[in-house]
Structure 1
């Protein structure tokens, strides 16, 4: 690679993410992508003069530092060529021999993608605001007819949201398809090679175009995956992510994993700590108090992360999302057991029902195929977690046809490693076989297994199950 490749890659990293277009130097300065060096100098002077007079020139949300940084980018051809790729080509001063249709297709892709991202970052109204706002009747004009009872207000309230959602979906679909069609044309790279020659700077060679061709798909994917950790609607964003699978095998999953791994590791750490707290409380007789506190922490800090991660399963990530969901469901299940009444005649605790419903819901959050498979045990069962009063969560052996752990644990649960090389929850839980809860052979009388993650929760609570823990 030539000497300009490092600067090109550096600028690509700077633009990667949801602010791909907002930070573009041509957008910030308002200059044309075909502007010569003299034109840029004049533009800089115009902005400086206008700033002294208190007149805003260029991007409305750009401050003095943003303008200075943008002009610095345009002064370096190796960085400028990157911003040219991600801004408008159909300019009056364009001198390239390209077909006008190529410029129109490129600009349509840029505009659709920029508007879609703007709608996610600044709200749905930022992408396209209704012109004129709600319809107003002039004084003395025709009055509104009587509202239909029960239907008028609801319909009026729902239509704008549906229309905004449809516009947003259409923008994302158009952006993905337009960029896909555009990058399949060799004329795109011929245009950039012409721009390299037109800039006529010894610091810039055609190596920069080679780097752009290799990295452009990764940058485009980063714009949508960069929203994965902060979007308010992960399921909807996952649909938008799926529209960019054409960028290449593994590219989408890698980008998502880079954004979501910190959340995954934080949730795994929370689960290990919650398991230790729940197990250590029972020898001291504080089981219900600990279960209430642990359940509250799981609801607030772990369950939202598991549900967010679950929305992006099936998109190529190697994170063990299914394993994380299973372990969370198991701890919620054990909290529900600890909060259940000790008497057969006492009514079940309402909080136990809520925790069981949440555990059953998380059981549906599954990860990749390898994460879904239970590890076979020596007796034909799978691995599950045993709540040990002294050692915390420990991996144990589930007997065949039974959803509870054997009384012989296999050792303290350590900080396991996921096949992808990242920390993972140490043990897996095998989905229990549907049917009645059976006590495994060798379990002491009066020691019942924890609630199953299938079947009727009310029936299981009436059976007065106890928390499966070792004293």
Structure 2
């Protein structure tokens, strides 16, 4: 199998369809030779007197295309490999592609392009749709593309087009040189859109139907690797600062850090859970829940904090109970019941379970585990997941030593 065409990298992102050479030039996907040259001459003349032209009727380019964009698009016709990628990502309509496909395959393909391009344009603000309408388009696009990529008709279509384009530079190429790169290209807009932290929860939910297809799922895990890493690092930084305040007996400052930094950062990670390691997520939830538990109990057992501060501690402990993994639920629940019973004042009796608040050594072990998780994520992104696994396992071993 040869390397995938460089055009996959060129098109990746939210301009996946806007950059398409057929969108920019307005040519049908079966255009070749003389038809391409005539359209180029026509647009050169038009753009000599006009700033832009609108492109294909189906193109989502409200501002049109400038002369330089059109020139670059025509130059892409010189590479038959790139041209085939653009062809597969644009409307086939009633073009005579000589592929012998069932007409239903062509209709299914155009439906996929339509829904996918509209979903992307809605996210970038080019068209105005409600969140429900956007979600519907993402769902439909995922179903259409998954159905098409699973169909033997698409493989046969590419094989026939490689023959019909009759270019020596395509000799030795097969469908397998094009199909593997498509899933990553189709989900590439998510990577760009996920740069906005405010929309990540909704985008992550929109990925649900794409995650059912293994090819898309693998690409999406890579796509959301950086947002997951960022969220884990923010949680870890907040935990370290809160631990310093807690160990210095500045428990109210520690609680504020947990409430203002750690829990919101963990909340940002929660919708990204499908893209994180299950064990990594559970260990992080454990670390956060135990940190809140320990600080809340320290505040409620202390005579110095005000009633409002103790109420705040109970509120955060309730939040910790909601995110705690199963192994921590009973302990935190018992602590909450004790705090409710004693009004969160004086000696609460909350430590009726061994380790209602973790021992100092356990806290140290917990921090080793936290550092291992963060280091593992960073190592996975930079040096490969074999390094990540080694770092995480080593950190957990140290955590076990301290905890025991």
Same fold (TM over 0.5): yes
* Alpha-carbon contact 1:189-1:209 (below 8 Å) kept: yes
For residue 299 of structure 1, report the CA deviation from its aligned partner.
Answer: 2.4
Aligned equivalent of 2:39: 43
**What CA distance in whole angstroms lies between the structure 1 residues aligned with 2:79 and 2:30?**
14
For residue 257 of structure 1, report the CA deviation from its aligned partner.
Answer: 4.3
For residue 110 of structure 1, report the CA deviation from its aligned partner.
Answer: 0.8
Q: Give per-residue Cα distances to partners, 1:152-188, cap 9 Å, x unaligned.
A: xxxxxxxxxxxx3442233222212222222232222
- 1:90 equivalenced with 2:93 (yes/no): yes
* Alpha-carbon contact 1:26-1:33 (below 8 Å) kept: yes
Pairing partner for 1:274 from 210, 219, 241 = 241
For residue 213 of structure 1, report the CA deviation from its aligned partner.
Answer: 2.0
Give the SS at the match of 2:124.
helix
For residue 233 of structure 1, report the CA deviation from its aligned partner.
Answer: 4.6
- 1:264 equivalenced with 2:227 (yes/no): no
**What CA distance in whole angstroms lies between the structure 1 residues aligned with 2:355 and 2:243?**
24
Aligned equivalent of 1:323: 283
Give the SS at the match of 2:357.
coil
Aligned equivalent of 2:338: none
* Alpha-carbon contact 2:293-2:317 (below 8 Å) kept: yes
Q: Which runs of 5+ in 1 are unaligned?
A: 129-163, 375-397, 431-471
Backbone CA RMSD of aligned residues: 3.9
Pairing partner for 1:26 from 19, 22, 27 = 22
**What CA distance in whole angstroms lies between the structure 2 residues aligned with 1:319 and 1:267?**
18
The structure with more radius of gyration: 1
Q: Where do 1:162-177 residues align within 5 Å?
A: 164-177=130-143
Q: Which runs of 5+ in 2 are unaligned?
A: 56-60, 329-350, 378-384, 400-404
Q: Whose helix proportion is higher, 1 or 2?
A: 2
**Structure 1's 234 and 362: CA in aligned 2 closer, same or farther, altered over 3 A?**
farther
Give the SS at the match of 1:271.
helix
- 1:119 equivalenced with 2:155 (yes/no): no
**Structure 1's 117 and 54: CA in aligned 2 closer, same or farther, altered over 3 A?**
same
Give the SS at the match of 1:216.
helix
Give the SS at the match of 2:170.
coil
- 1:349 equivalenced with 2:308 (yes/no): yes
For residue 79 of structure 1, report the CA deviation from its aligned partner.
Answer: 1.5
TM-score, normalized by length of structure 2? 0.71
* Alpha-carbon contact 1:329-1:360 (below 8 Å) kept: no
Pairing partner for 2:50 from 54, 70, 73 = 54
Of stretches 173-182 and 247-256 in structure 1, the one that deviates more from structure 2 is 247-256
Of stretches 402-411 and 74-83 in structure 1, the one that deviates more from structure 2 is 402-411
**Structure 1's 306 and 256: CA in aligned 2 closer, same or farther, altered over 3 A?**
farther
For residue 106 of structure 1, report the CA deviation from its aligned partner.
Answer: 0.6
**What CA distance in whole angstroms lies between the structure 2 residues aligned with 1:277 and 1:65?**
57
Give the SS at the match of 2:284.
helix
Give the SS at the match of 2:273.
coil
Q: Give per-residue Cα distances to partners, 1:374-412, cap 9 Å, x unaligned.
A: 7xxxxxxxxxxxxxxxxxxxxxxx997432223555867
**What CA distance in whole angstroms lies between the structure 2 residues aligned with 1:68 and 1:401?**
73
- 1:294 equivalenced with 2:247 (yes/no): no
Q: Where do 1:33-432 residues align within 5 Å?
A: 33-57=29-53, 58=55, 59=61, 60-92=63-95, 94-122=97-125, 126=127, 164-205=130-171, 207-224=173-190, 227-230=193-196, 232-248=198-214, 251=218, 254-271=221-238, 273-275=240-242, 277-279=244-246, 281-282=248-249, 287=250, 290-291=253-254, 294-295=257-258, 299-300=260-261, 302-314=262-274, 317-318=277-278, 320-332=280-292, 343=303, 347-350=306-309, 353-354=311-312, 356-365=314-323, 401-408=354-361, 413-414=367-368, 415-417=371-373, 418=376, 421=388
Pairing partner for 2:7 from 8, 11, 23 = 11
**What CA distance in whole angstroms lies between the structure 2 residues aligned with 1:337 and 1:399?**
12
